[in-house]
Structure 1
Amino acid sequence: MIGIVLAGGQSRRFGSPKAFATYNGKCFYEYAIAALTPHCTEIAVVARPEDAARFPGTLHVTTDLQEFAGQGPLAGILTGMNTIQSDWYAVLPCDVPFADDSIIRELMNHRAGNLSVAIEEDGKCHPLLSIWSKGAEPLIRSSLEMGNRSVRPLIQHWVDGQALLGMKPSLFNNVNRPEQLEGR
């Protein structure tokens, strides 16, 4: 399985690129890589062009496919799929620094066939905490070509995240503002 770290957001509410925000001395993108590493043979980081050179040279960093540049997370997922070939892809956004490898393990336990799988917890969907088969690539491309940028309609199976919450309540917290890190 290949890991895809989505690090190409505009970070408008955060005020600076979230990939490089730090928590306990570690950049957000490093948390995503740490969560993916136990399950993935390689990891692609999909970043904004102006930020790509800021990542260490040891990482496989890429930017959106030119035809879908700037079209959001779905374009990032497709870019990751086109960057490193695999049958399966585990996706984590860089702005979920409290996520750990238990999310990926849980998603892997629920994958079957060509299903795309994502976490749903107490009615709240987390479509970017997901696993995709290579078979989803044409659906993603077609959706983007039609101007549909939403990830949710392409998710075929939602995994109940309640069991994971018992282990770590903040597992799915998306950090959109610096003050969300205060007092942690």
Structure 2
Amino acid sequence: MTKADAQPEDVSERTVGILLAGGLSRRYGSPKAFARYEGRLFHERAYEALSAACRLVTVSSAASLAERFPGAYDVQVDLPEVSGRGPLAGICTVMRRIPAERYLVLPCDMPRVGPRTIRRLAELAQTRPEADVAAVRAGDAFVPLLSVWRAGLADVLEQEISADRLSVMKLLAKLNTVWLDASRIDEDLRVFDNFNTPDAN
């Protein structure tokens, strides 16, 4: 096969999706992963979206919630050394357990994000190979957990967690982070809203 005949590179084969669904969601009143938007559970919508661009989708969840997800899901509970330390712990755990070249992260509380949006995010992130993280910015609003992380960052995440530095934004400020314009990913910026209370939808 000549170079001209080669098929386009399949980014999905080297990308693992991380569905962040470990929060107990006290402000929401119940775990948001099991809330509904337009008739479907938040985690179902997020899983479907990530599956559009990832060879494997894994759910990062708390031990108390893990058995509530469908048996077909790969569910990862935090490693003991980072357990319960927020989203960085979930990302770190998946990086330690599942080798990949990149990790596409989506929190479960963004139920308007669909497959098209995720595919476009993956495409844009691929154009910035120099970035440690490619995350989304919608105007003045940062969406740090809708993001693509390169491999090899697990040690950095674990160091931050061990030092009790759990802010995702502060970590991204230390890394080579590229902020992608949300309007290049989806023209409807409502897609990037987090649902923090039951009346948000």
TM above 0.5, one fold? yes
Cα gap change, 1:107 to 1:115, in 2 (>3 Å): farther
- Mind listing any 5+ residue stretches in structure 1 that lack a counterpart? none
* Number of the residue aligned with 1:7: 21
* Number of the residue aligned with 1:20: 34
Give 1:82's match in structure 2, choosing from 96, 111, 122.
Answer: 96
Moved more, 105-114 or 65-74: 105-114
Give a deviation string over 1:124-149, Cα, whole Å, max 9, x none.
Answer: 11110010011222211111111111
Q: 5 Å matches for 1:59-74?
A: 59-74=73-88
| One-letter amino acid matched to 1:179 | D
Q: Distance in 1 between the 2:38 and 2:181 partners?
A: 29
Cα gap change, 1:121 to 1:169, in 2 (>3 Å): closer
- Mind listing any 5+ residue stretches in structure 2 that lack a counterpart? 1-14
Identity %: 39
Moved more, 137-146 or 119-128: 137-146
Deviation at 1:114? 5.0
Give 2:189's match in structure 1, choosing from 157, 166, 169.
Answer: 169
Q: Distance in 2 between the 1:72 and 1:116 partners?
A: 18
Deviation at 1:107? 3.1
Deviation at 1:13? 0.9
Give 1:136's match in structure 2, choosing from 120, 145, 153.
Answer: 153
Deviation at 1:35? 1.1
**Contact 1:46 1:76 (C-alpha < 8 Å) held by counterparts:** yes
* Number of the residue aligned with 2:43: 29
SS in 2 for 1:170: helix
SS in 1 for 2:113: coil
TM-score, normalised relative to structure 1: 0.91
* 1:105 maps onto 2:119 in alignment: yes
SS in 2 for 1:36: helix
Q: Greater CA radius of gyration, 1 or 2?
A: 2
Deviation at 1:178? 0.8
**Contact 1:139 1:154 (C-alpha < 8 Å) held by counterparts:** no
**Contact 2:25 2:32 (C-alpha < 8 Å) held by counterparts:** yes
Deviation at 1:71? 0.6
Runs of 4+ in structure 1 deviating by more than 3 angstroms, as ranges, are: none
SS in 2 for 1:162: helix
Deviation at 1:10? 2.1
Moved more, 155-164 or 98-107: 98-107
* Number of the residue aligned with 1:95: 109
SS in 2 for 1:85: coil
CA RMSD of aligned residues (A): 1.5
